[in-house]
Amino acid sequence: MTDPTPEERPAGLLGRITGMQGRTKLLIAVGLALVLVSVFAPQSCGGRNVEEEQAIATASAALAAEPDAFAPDKTEAKLLRQGFPARLMWVVVFTVDDPEGGPEDFLHKADIWVNANTGDLEQVIVHKPDEE
């Protein structure tokens, strides 16, 4: 079998793929399927084993252990995906509003990240009153 002349060769990536023999196409398809499964399967299987109340309790204990601890007026918890590959995380925000400020002004604020699968404390950020 002779190599096709440049005029007979298909143009572009799609043309080269369609011009390949059957076995090569099969190997490429299997490789792409493995890549897709390895990227998307962990996200779909990663469940949430920690409920909102448990995350808030863990975060409250972490806040109490901090040197700049405060008694919050408001508690808010949200479930988010963090990092790559994505992991489910509870973000618990404790705040004390500034009575003279607007809705974004706080006297105290703490952001606490709790792993939604294991319940482990991931990060604690306590904002000091003079921080923006």
* Per-residue confidence (pLDDT) for residue 63, from 0 to 100: 93
* Per-residue confidence (pLDDT) for residue 102, from 0 to 100: 66
pLDDT at 100 over 90: no
d(CA 29, CA 54): 44
pTM of the entire structure? 0.61
d(CA 39, CA 1): 40
* CATH code reported for the domain at 52-127: 3.10.450
pLDDT at 1 over 70: no
pLDDT tens readout for residues 25-73: 777 888 888 887 777 665 555 566 889 999 999 999 999 998 888 889 9
pLDDT tens readout for residues 4-31: 565 665 567 766 666 666 777 777 888 8
Q: Where are the domains of the chain?
A: 12-45, 52-127
Of the candidates 70, 65, 86, 88, the one whose C-alpha atom is nearest the C-alpha of residue 78 is: 88
